[in-house]
Amino acid sequence: MVKERKATGIKTWLEDDRPREKLLKKGAGALSNSELLAILLRTGTQGTSAIDLARNILKKFGTFRNMAHTDSRDWKDLKGLGGAKIAHIQAALEIGRRYRQDDVSTGKQKIASAKDVVDIVMPQLRDLKTELFKVVYLDSNNRIIDISDTAVGTVDQAFPIVREIIHAALQKFAKSIVCAHNHPSGESSPSTQDKKFTQDLCNAGKLMDIKLLDHIIIAGEKYFSFADQGEL
């Protein structure tokens, strides 16, 4: 009868095979998903290394994207994960989502179409379980000044933020804006409330010489553009 091999701690591995040392020597790109996750976990549990624990997590969720926007119930059947480890993972995922937004904001990317905005905001909005509004503030050359979250909730709750959006645009010296929000239902078509909100924001912008270029609805991998559909 063959005895079951006990899990081996990472500290007993050859130095070049340890995730942290491998990252420092070869760069993050050389690591597998499980190795990257193991670095965040730092330690495993008795009889289970951080790598094994990382593999168990990836086996459950499949991808890093699937780990996003989860709550404690989604992690409860994974042994060896306390609140601190889960927090480290969720923080890293959020950093990854924000990286692209920061990159385009500081680079003053020029917006020429709805797709340009979709490419920026879809990674942050497509998997959310509640509605979130983002506003892209643009200068006179349609280059990004800033992108900010404005409200969480349904579009009905978002009507009071029209004044907030316009006020922020004036403070940032923006000449135009693009509003985007998600539909957790997966339905990209605008509701009656979406249409009214768009019209209210457009009218408020005209009064202050700030043009609403588009209102985009993100629904999973799909999107609806008021501008593309000629509804602005």
DSSP 110: B
Question: How far, in Å, CA of 42 to CA of 159, rounded?
Answer: 45
Q: What is the pTM of this model?
A: 0.65
Q: Where does residue 136 fall: left (phi above 0), alpha (psi -120 to 50 degrees), or beta otherwise? A: beta
pLDDT in tens, 79-103: 878 888 888 888 888 787 777 666 5
Print pLDDT tens along the chain (232 aa): 334 344 456 666 655 567 888 888 888 888 888 888 888 888 877 778 888 888 988 888 888 877 877 777 788 788 878 888 888 888 888 787 777 666 555 556 889 999 999 998 998 888 888 888 899 999 999 999 989 887 665 555 555 578 889 999 999 999 999 999 999 998 999 999 899 999 999 999 999 999 999 999 999 899 999 999 998 8
Cα torsion 87, 90, 92, 98 to 10°: value is: -130
- Determine the pLDDT at residue 5: 40
> Is the dihedral angle over the CA atoms 34, 35, 38, 40 positive or is it negative?
negative
